[in-house]
Amino acid sequence: MENDLTLLKKELRKTALIKRRAMRPEKRVAESHGIFKQLRDFELYKQASCVFCYVSVEDEVQTREILNQVLADRKKLCIPYIAEPKTRIMTAARLNSLDELKPGYWDIPSVSVDNYHEVNPVEIDFVVVPGAAFDKEGHRLGLGGGFYDIFLKKVRNAALVAVAYECQLMDEIKVMDHDIPVDYLLTHNGIIKCSK
């Protein structure tokens, strides 16, 4: 059963990523900007004091506007830091300026070892979650590494907020016991409170 589900997730992930990559660049920019505006005006974001947000690459929902806004709002900003890829351990690294970003694991922008200051996950109260696909129950299909599922178990006090292009929404995503659902889905069209 587990193997069937793993295969199904692999196929769904492949389909979702093909759709995401097929988006026209101007549509990607427009939807990312719409998502940014939804997040900026979201009450839970306004109340947050420590925000964890991924640094986007390639065809992901673009997060530079979000990162700049968090810094402009003088909130504590932290980003993913992967020190030990083999153990799938991802930590939260403090980011004070986008100028600190350097290519990290898999060339994903992060902070350098010299500039690494870990933030305790308990401090984080708002997490911007990436993914390949999502459903309205908050189930998430990641990229298959398992980094986020392990990390999200540690951020017990945070609102888990996924950002997604419209093409990333699916009717249903089958999940395993270790998969952590998100609380909200943000698209350029609005905010969906997930019915977990």
Residues making up the annotated binding site for substrate are 55, 60
Residue 14: exposed, middle, or buried by beta-carbon count in 10 A (0-12, 13-18, 19+)? exposed
- Chain centroid to Cα 55, Å, comes to 9
Residue list for the binding site: 9-13, 55, 60, 140-148
∠ CA 92-188-19, rounded to 5°: 85
Residue list for the binding site for ATP: 9-13, 140-148
Phi, psi of 88 (to 5 degrees): 60, 30
- Angstrom CA distances, 67 to 16, 41, 79, 98, 152, stand at 25, 15, 9, 8, 19
